C-alpha cells in the first residue's frame, strides 16, 4: 500500500501508519537519552543530547511516514 494517495497531479493526501514496535521503542529510548543528557551531566552523552533528541524524533517521524518501517 502507498503512503500517499494522489487525487490529481498537484494534490495528494498522506496516510500515516503506525511505526513498528522496534522503531517506536528505539525512537523513544533515543529521545529519552537526549532529554536525560540535557538535564544531567553525563560524560559522552550531554554533548550530543540535542542530536539524540532530534534523532529520536526523526526516527519516529520516518516510522510514521513509511509503512513497514
Each residue's pLDDT tens digit, 17-59 = 888 899 999 999 999 999 999 999 999 999 999 999 999 999 9
Q: Is residue 12 part of a domain?
A: no
Q: Is residue 33 part of a domain?
A: yes
Q: Is residue 22 part of a domain?
A: yes
Q: Which cell is 49 given? A: 543530547
Q: Is residue 6 part of a domain?
A: no
Model pTM?
0.73
Q: Which cell is 34 given? A: 537526549
Q: Is residue 52 part of a domain?
A: yes
Res. 60: pLDDT tops 80: yes
Q: Is residue 3 part of a domain?
A: no
Res. 4: pLDDT tops 80: no
Instruction: Please count the other Cβ atoms lying within 10 Å of the Cβ belonging to residue 2.
Output: 9
Instruction: Tell me which residue range forms the domain holding 32.
Output: 17-65
Number of structural domains (the chain) is: 1
Q: Is residue 5 part of a domain?
A: no
Q: Is residue 2 part of a domain?
A: no
Amino acid at each position: 500500500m502507498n503512503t500517499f494517495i494522489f487525487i490529481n497531479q498537484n494534490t495528494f493526501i498522506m496516510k500515516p501508519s503506525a511505526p513498528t514496535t522496534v522503531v517506536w521503542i528505539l525512537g523513544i529510548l533515543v529521545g529519552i537519552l537526549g532529554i536525560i543528557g540535557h538535564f544531567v551531566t553525563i560524560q559522552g552523552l550531554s554533548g550530543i543530547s540535542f542530536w539524540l533528541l532530534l534523532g529520536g524524533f526523526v526516527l519516529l517521524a520516518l516510522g510514521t511516514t513509511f509503512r513497514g518501517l
